[in-house]
Structure formats: structure tokens, C-alpha cells
A and B are shown apart, each in its own frame.
Chain A
């Protein structure tokens, strides 16, 4: 039981839970209190100090949208966003219930009657927007990985390819998503002409811009990893005369996986950071559009609502990073164990 609880806490990145588990099982009580003070008390104190400074600082500045919101106002808005979500969901379910009742009535009168099947078109709630953002960043991340991994392997295998790709990588790597967006918008509009495809245009534009900005980290890490595989492993492949394909999948890629995952992790965090800007301009109904709409809306709650978005973005980014770290731990072998 104790071991399971400890494993759970360390896997989820909540190491602060471990001393509590140990404390309840009566293991070195004084030691556990010290550990709790260090891992929990100090962060809590720091957060409390931050909230106090924020609260105090916010009161000093008044903008055209009213006072800069303090922690209390932001919390209020977070709750109201959640309430709005619940209300909207309730409305939707009522709408569908009414529609179903209508259809049932029609069918009972005439089994061959045409039923209407209309989708509820309320405005997306904050929670919907979070999921749209996650979908977009995931799509962009997958596209980026599909492009970056094969090119990275090829660059790592051949010095000529590396030399060929290197200038392009160096030039395109630092380009801001805001510069890519107009180009991607025009290209997607020209190529993706249907208006009722599986994905809305704004979704595709945002996803592609995200992948354009995030693929570089994976590409560089994969190339570096493949080109620096330990000579011992290469020698094994040589002595066994493995075919190039087998060499890649049995020796090079497993040896490179830890570095590839470091690249993927950077890519995902860059993608998430870039996504907000993309959504703002492409009007993809995610968190970026939410921030933009609130900014344009200019009500007295707008700033507080944007602040809620800031915290949401931060926390989700943190969770995504933790997920990648855990995945990376799963695939990494012990480096020392040759």
C-alpha cells in the first residue's frame, strides 16, 4: 500500500506527497516533518507572498477597463467561467431533449416522417475552448513530429544531408509564428477550399503554424542523437553486418530515443507557447481567441478573465511538460550500462 502510494506520487510529479505517506506509516517522524517543511511550506509561503504583492500592486494601477484585477477578482471570474460552462451545457442538453421529444412525437404519428437533427449552436464555453486548444496543439505537434523525425534521422546518418539542411534549419528556426501565420493562411486558403471539411480552416492554419515553429527542436535533437550514437553500438551493427533498415530500427533509434524525447518535449512546449498567438490571429476558437475576444470586449471583467486564461495556459503547459518527462523516463535506458 505504502509502496503503491509512493510510486503514484513520484510518477505524477507530486513528490511532496511522499513524506506524508511515510509520516502516516510512522517512518522517521522528525525527518518527514523537515521534508514537508522544505517541499510544501516554502512553496506555499512563496505563493502567498506573490499573491500579496500582486494584490497590492494591482490596486496601484487603474486602466481604461477599471482597476487591474487582484487575485480575488481573478478567482471570481474563474468561478463565473465555470458557471457559464455549466449553464451552457444545461441549455444544450435541454435543446437536445426538446429535439428528441419532437422527433419521437413525429415518428409515433407517422413512422416514415423525416426527423430533424439540428446541432446545438451555442457559443463555445471556456472549457470547450481549452479542449479546442489542446486538439490544435496536438495536431500541430503530430505534424511537426512526422516531418522532423525522418529528416532528423537522415541528417544524422549523412553528413552531406546535414550540411544541406543546416542553413535552412538555422534560418527558419528563430522565425516568429506571427510571421508564418499570414503565409500559412494564404496557402491553406488556396489549397483547402472546401468550407465544410472535417476541420475548420482556422484550426488547420493554427495547427500548421504551430508545427512550423515547433518542429526544429525535434529535428535538431534527432539529428544530433543519431550522429552521436556510441561507437560500440555502431561496431556491433558493423560486425553483425546489419542491413541499413535494421541498423536504424534496432540500434540507432533505440540509442537516440532519450535525445529524441528531449526534442519532442521542447517542441511541445514551444508549440503550446506559440499556439496562443496563432489562435488570436487565425480566430481558431481556442484559448488564444478567448484572450483576444476578451481584450476586444473591454468590459470591467475582461482583464480578470484574461488573467484566468494566463493561469490556465501556464498550468496546462506544465502538465504537458510533466507528461513528456514521464514518457521520456519510460523509454530511456541507463546510459552507463553499455
Chain B
């Protein structure tokens, strides 16, 4: 079998691209938002970015993305600043080397379906706070997880499961998010 080196330029470039596109659009493009955006890109828009997400009480998460983010910061393609506010966390913004790194991953980013998916992702989810994205990505994880087990959940079932995992959200908040995702056809099929 031929050995390959496979530097994942496309993953690194994606982080820089999202930082660039979300600048001025996301209320706080931080580490949590990055996790949820890439999760949505893979699950909802079916773009294989090469990440393997697992579920926790704080929603879908992959440590590989944090590892890649560190490297991308080290290349100078993004900057990461601590945020002094009630929410805390970090803010990721494009760095001086963003364009150069994006160019390295241009074969991936310029594919028609990838480009369109990123545009739609940022348009439809870019204005959310981390908390809102976490709720939506968890709802999608719940629905996909059940689907994999051959079980079709109703909207009520989804609300009930998500409420158990995220008790700080009200039933109305969860239901509104379910309905919104259903209306956009990101939550199909639902019983």
C-alpha cells in the first residue's frame, strides 16, 4: 500500500475561512461556536471535513478540532482572544496569514458544494450565540442518533430528550428550535 503524508490543509483552511466569514457576522465566533459550525457543516450539509464528533452534556464535540485550531493559530492564520464579558470564552478572528492558508486548502473550499454549504451555514447559523448553536446541534444529534438506531422521533420526543440533557433550556425554547430546524428541512425525517 502506498504511504501518504496527507497534511490536512483542507481542515486548517476551513478554520481560517470560517473565521473570515464569521467576522462581523457572529456575535462571538469562539471555540464553542467553531465546534458547532463544523458539526453542522458535516451533519446538516453533508460536507466531510474529517472530524469525528462525540456527544457530551455540552453537545457534540471533537478534540481534534481544538488541536487543529492551535496549529492554525500558530501559523498566524487566526488570532484567539479571551473575551471579558458575562459569557467569557474566546473570540477567534482572522490573522495575517489567513489568505495564504485558505489558498492552501482552495481545492477543497472552492468545490461547488463546499462553497455553497459554507455560505448557507454562515447565513443561517452565523448570527447565533454559542448557547443557541449548542441547542440546535444537540437537537440534530438527538435526531440523527435515533435515526441510526432505526427509531423515528417525534418533535415531542426530541424536546423531552433534549430537556433532560439541557435542563436550563425551557420546553418552549427547545420546541421553537425544533420547529425552526424542521421548517428549514434540517431535521428530516421526524415522526
B is bound to A: no
